[in-house]
Structure 1
């Protein structure tokens, strides 16, 4: 076993991965299998470094002293060269003196560059180093400040400094490249450092192991309860618990076959060579997975297939008449998929596991998801389920409810309330599929593993609870006046604008911070090399996309009237979900960005609801 050069708790200088910038770090731990040190930076960021990327605290000081010593000796040797004659003509002496003067000035400049490059930058300069609008000012300030700073001042500010070993020209070019291609830089950093090993999950969510155990039965029970109450003549939550139908009536092999067929049709459309192929964000192991973006084509082809089926005499209102059976079949399919995902994850390599689902507990990892991106060759199961079978299935269910309303209520055309619900939710689905690439930066894709929780959410919860308003209106029609309809449309439009603009700003900034659409926005630099938006929609509240989502959810429920609270389950649940997700986001961002996130929270006070929360 190789000997350790640095001990736990020792303060050393650690090189930031992918650059030649050194920061003061504290050694936290050492992994003997990977031979990597876990170090903690002053802002709270934790990374793993090789010993080759770490130096003792006095390394730079000794190097600077050697540089000064060598420069002085070179100057003395030139003035006392033994090969020079003592007698020279005045003109020749003048020329040689002038030449020596130029050489001396050149030597001094070289020394100054070395000293500036080897000297620490002030904290104010470091904080602005990644802001493209202040680069010239930063370079000038750094040069002037370092020239006049004394050695005692440098020692007192050691905790907030970084060092650079490159010449100034190379350093400047490196900064430009770092700003222009932040994602590519991070890919090279991780990919060339080491094979990443996912640590054991110690911070458990959703109530930990006990919470995950109860959620396995609570989620299916909630869906069945909602559908049973909503199907009754009096859809009041006071009728809880609803009367349970015979268990034999909840299962239908024909219905289960339709569910499986729908899944396979969407899988076939997904693998068609249509649409563009893009790279996802860099993973911890340095890989960048490739994804085919063809979700909008998928819903268009699905619409053609559904239209052809209706044209050939297939009655879509069959879905309404067997809605419970469809829900139970989807539950069974998601359970089978979850079991398959967990079994295959047992053979996944260490760097393919999810950081949040590697606890070692079977039930918890099964629920959360043990493997981050399970794939069958190039078929990404998590990415496929996220937007395809359930989301497009939601639209088909809404259409079936519209036809069922016309059939049961004996209407020549759908009610205004049903039209509003279908239109609002269709717009939401079309927007998600049109901007499908944006999902590659979400927590579901980047952080969460694919297990029963996401499988159930994608295949059961989304299509069968998000369509609750349309299901409710079939047996509980509601008259909506045109002025009230106009108010609801306006509310949904406001929510959609907030939602879409916030997501567009976030995705454009993550892809290219110098995009003209976002280049004017104010930012806070972080120790990871990235920046946080503090203006635009993201300077209004910390999660403006969540705010827009909640406003739209309210607009979807209002067409159902105010007779029962059941149609408002979606907006109530969604608000709780987003508040919980916001707390998860806050926790992850604090770990990732450290003190920069604290500063962001100080400038943007409210999380979701301005002036309230």
Structure 2
């Protein structure tokens, strides 16, 4: 077995992964099987390093303090000229040449002092430069100094202005801030040269690199989905309107053009969008900060979605009181979907055209491929804004989500009219209630969406515009639309089981998201590990809730440190599966479909689609987290084996 070179407790210099920078570290442990040292940096980060990435501290000191060896031809003779007057030699410590070299070194010395890593909105790190009035270089610059390999003869290290300084290409590497500051003012020329070097690095660093890893099938997949997605929506709606929506009757006959277009419906959809914009811009609700952008600033967001749905509820109630017939939505459902589709296309075209003039730091990290169709589909600009109106944030929760609730309410009225009943059926009531709770939860916790992949990573293009304005309100309401013409007599015992199932899914969903949001704000908040609520005895009868109870009462907060300065939560719900919020979503999706019965598979399209969507999103999350956290994510996956469904996946 090979012997180890460094002992536990030794203070050495460790190379930061992905760079040529060395920091002072302390050896904490050694694994003989993997031949890896566990070291701790001064900022508390613990990593595993190979022996080749560790150097003795004396090596760095000797490089600074050691003198240059002179060739024999350059050495001065000890004898002096007879005509030269005797001159008392200076002390060795006051050698002018050494002193000059020391000054130059001190001016250019790279002071490496890791500072806390700021939260970055999935963009390249920011580079800052501030020059003081006394010509000192007092800038804090994100950079990477590529140090040449150490020579065997251990020459003195003097970092000159010709050192290669290059920007970090991606945020996956260690985002560490370094201070470059001169300690002396004896060499103005070197300082000016170094400032010019820093200026060049700063200018180059803002260039956004092209998107290399394409998602959703790449350019071809994005092109196909632009046309396939609306076809799927209209096939679902046309099939659902049939008396027998059996799979044997698929595909349905094409509808007449008059059933797809109506100018009055188009105007109603336009007024609905404008009304939601008006409610969004009202000075009501809390204003919160988003995550830092590449430029360093934080966008402001007004969270008044819950007030908006309350206003809409009051206005709908008043409209019903004054005799406005909301079954009009059901009777012209295809026309409403067509109008929403047209608005989504117009919005997508506007977004792509305006993104061509967006600055480089405003582009989406995954929507900058250079391909027209891919960038149009994914979204070229990350946060398009019209003054204070953030278009992506507005569309995520307002017109589509609140419109979904309004459509469900219209379907309940249409069921009463079509089936000639005085009250909506139990199945319709459950579907409306479950989905209303889901929407109210999203609007009540509106601030949480600011940390999701849609806001942080994805640009705003056709994918999100179509999804927010068309897919969400018209596909998510498919169960209610189905029940209008295909009623299902649901028994109360089976209804109670469905209620328990939906409650289980909601508890998992809400608990997981609450833990995640609290942990992101303050990793040491005791609420992360505190029990969430007391469960009634009826809930404990289900298998899932037995597991959930076990998770809820975990008291110890366990985390895994990462090289980025963040920690991964491995206790509570997030120690159960890697994406417990997705698990809750899938359970609720199943509960929304069960009230429709088992006569046709059409009402279960939502749960099938949503499961595939979350599995795909989990794969995207997995890929991003592995790139960002590296070995820490591998350790998290080792401790938490299952991704979404415990024991299955």
Instruction: Please tell me the TM-score bracket, short chain as reference.
Output: 0.7 to 0.9
User: 2:502 corresponds to which residue?
Assistant: 492
Alignment partner of 1:560 is 2:474: no
- Equivalent position SS for 2:288: strand
Q: After superposition, give the CA deviation of every residue in 1:162-187 in whole Å (9 maximum; x if it has no partner).
A: x999xxxxxxxx99x95xx9649999
- Equivalent position SS for 2:302: strand
Choose from 560, 566, 571 the match for 2:607.
Answer: 571
Task: Quote the offset at 1:309 in angstroms.
Answer: 2.0
Choose from 181, 194, 207 the match for 2:217.
Answer: 207
| Partners of 1:191 and 1:286 within 8 A in 2 | no
Choose from 503, 510, 521 the match for 1:511.
Answer: 521
User: 1:302 corresponds to which residue?
Assistant: 312
User: 2:54 corresponds to which residue?
Assistant: 158
| Partners of 1:402 and 1:414 within 8 A in 2 | yes
Report which stretch shifted further, 511-520 or 363-372.
Answer: 511-520
Choose from 424, 436, 443 the match for 1:426.
Answer: 436
Matches within 5 A, 1:76-475: 120-122=26-28, 124=38, 126=40, 130=44, 158=54, 178=116, 183=119, 190=126, 192=128, 193=142, 194=202, 196-475=206-485
Choose from 530, 543, 549 the match for 2:579.
Answer: 543
Task: Quote the offset at 1:298 in angstroms.
Answer: 0.8
Once residues 403 and 616 of structure 2 are traced to their aligned partners in structure 1, the CA distance between those partners, rounded to angstroms, is 26
| Partners of 1:187 and 1:287 within 8 A in 2 | no
User: 1:50 corresponds to which residue?
Assistant: none
User: Relative to 1, partners in 2 of residues 1:400 and 1:600: Cα closer, same or farther, differing over 3 Å?
Assistant: same
Higher relative contact order (CA 8 A, sep 6+): 1
- Equivalent position SS for 2:15: strand
Task: Quote the offset at 1:367 in angstroms.
Answer: 0.5
Task: Quote the offset at 1:197 in angstroms.
Answer: 3.1
Alignment partner of 1:609 is 2:619: no
User: Relative to 1, partners in 2 of residues 1:526 and 1:419: Cα closer, same or farther, differing over 3 Å?
Assistant: same
Alignment partner of 1:580 is 2:494: no
- TM-score, normalising length from structure 2? 0.69
* Greater helix fraction, Structure 1 or Structure 2: 1
| Partners of 2:121 and 2:293 within 8 A in 1 | no
Choose from 20, 24, 27 the match for 2:15.
Answer: 24
User: Relative to 1, partners in 2 of residues 1:271 and 1:398: Cα closer, same or farther, differing over 3 Å?
Assistant: same
Once residues 317 and 119 of structure 2 are traced to their aligned partners in structure 1, the CA distance between those partners, rounded to angstroms, is 43
User: 2:569 corresponds to which residue?
Assistant: 533
| Partners of 2:121 and 2:457 within 8 A in 1 | no
Report which stretch shifted further, 446-455 or 119-128.
Answer: 119-128
- TM-score, normalising length from structure 1? 0.73
Q: Which runs of 5+ in 2 are unaligned?
A: 1-11, 29-36, 62-112, 129-141, 143-201, 530-555
User: 1:592 corresponds to which residue?
Assistant: 628
| Partners of 1:198 and 1:354 within 8 A in 2 | no
Q: After superposition, give the CA deviation of every residue in 1:123-177 in whole Å (9 maximum; x if it has no partner).
A: 545289659xxxxxx9xxxxxxxxxxxxxx997661899x999xxxxxxxx99x9
- Equivalent position SS for 1:277: strand
| Partners of 2:13 and 2:25 within 8 A in 1 | no
User: Relative to 1, partners in 2 of residues 1:591 and 1:156: Cα closer, same or farther, differing over 3 Å?
Assistant: closer
Once residues 185 and 264 of structure 1 are traced to their aligned partners in structure 2, the CA distance between those partners, rounded to angstroms, is 29
User: Relative to 1, partners in 2 of residues 1:438 and 1:23: Cα closer, same or farther, differing over 3 Å?
Assistant: farther
User: Relative to 1, partners in 2 of residues 1:317 and 1:535: Cα closer, same or farther, differing over 3 Å?
Assistant: same
How many residue pairs get aligned? The number is 477
Once residues 235 and 51 of structure 2 are traced to their aligned partners in structure 1, the CA distance between those partners, rounded to angstroms, is 67
User: Relative to 1, partners in 2 of residues 1:120 and 1:300: Cα closer, same or farther, differing over 3 Å?
Assistant: same
| Partners of 2:570 and 2:640 within 8 A in 1 | yes
| Partners of 1:375 and 1:381 within 8 A in 2 | yes
Q: After superposition, give the CA deviation of every residue in 1:219-257 in whole Å (9 maximum; x if it has no partner).
A: 000000000000000011221110111123310000010
Task: Quote the offset at 1:512 in angstroms.
Answer: 1.0
Task: Quote the offset at 1:414 in angstroms.
Answer: 0.6
Once residues 625 and 403 of structure 2 are traced to their aligned partners in structure 1, the CA distance between those partners, rounded to angstroms, is 34
